[in-house]
Amino acid sequence: MPFKSLDELRAACLDLPAGSDAAADAVARRQDTLTKPQGSLGRLEAIAAWLARWQGRDMPQLDHVKVLVFAGNHGVTAQGVSAFPSEVTVQMVANFAGGGAAINQLARIAGAELDVIPLDLDYPTGDFTQVPAMDGEAFLAAVSAGYGAVTKDLDLVCFGEMGIGNTTPAAAISAALFGGGAEKWTGRGTGVDDAGLVRKITAIEAGLKRHAEALADPLGIAAALGGRELAAIFGATLAARHLGVPVLLDGFVCTAAAAPLARLHPAGLAHTLAAHVSAESGHRRLLEALGLPPLLDLGMRLGEGSGACLAVNIVRSALECHTSMASFAEAGVSEK
């Protein structure tokens, strides 16, 4: 296990490489020579430079792209916070394995390898209205599982999740990190009715009150209010930074899972892009709080890494323009 204590994990969160200014600057210089008005490709130009910075290459590449989907179950579902029963998590993991889910199709189209990682699905986390979702040992095990899932050979990684009820811990973590109370961050998730929404808000308020002593520490928040798949996404985001792998974050749950790193280090999520803003009400607020403008806004709220996979195609387009366009000199086109 990479992390044997919270202090060891905290130290790893504070020791983050800054990325390569030289590689990003080289991309920017090349962009200014290509057959287009300078800056006319907008964020596509910035995406190419972002890839270069975090890959540490003057000429980035996307030969090996992976989608990591982490799955976990949540004790807080006992509070009636989801429209679906918790056994759906296991059933959907089987659906992923059979190739029948949306993420299977989107990963194939994006040219990305899909890896689904279930985390102790037979043992839900604790109901955080009553007890911490995870004790220190369980939290570190989940973080370490995510950390170990990212490998240095990746050129880009997308994170996704599957876990019935997991918009509840995502909202709880967001409220604990950024304040404003449960109602500000809580949406309908899988489609709960008005009564279900009230139950979600009530459960989150109870969790925030019960674990008030943990709320000063981002790691304590993630353990007390989160879930195994969220902890794994946190660990995977940290590993990607240490290994020089750029990250596309998916929706509300993934963003909330990674958010504690931004509270531990002011540039903790600089190696990530927000792939999209989901229809879950707290996601837009969370992206604004983190300063992460989304690439897409398609009204999606599926999870699974679906929005991140769609954004791979945008990143590929940015890279193709950067690597394959002719310069003014090569094309014989007059500059202004």
Enumerate the active-site residues.
304
- Residue 303 structure tokens: 């999870």
Whole-angstrom Cα distance, residue 257 to residue 124?
17
Task: Please state the length of the chain.
Answer: 336
- Nearest CA among 304, 273, 9 for reference residue 159: 304
As a whole number of angstroms, the distance between CA 225 and CA 215 comes to 10
Token pair 């674990």 is found at 211
Amino acid at 166: N
* Terminal CA-CA length for the chain: 58
* Euclidean distance between CA atoms 209 and 183, whole angstroms: 14
Are the beta carbons of 256 and 250 closer than 8 angstroms? no
Place of tokens 């974050």: 249
Query: Is 149 within 8 Å of 58 (Cβ atoms)?
Result: no
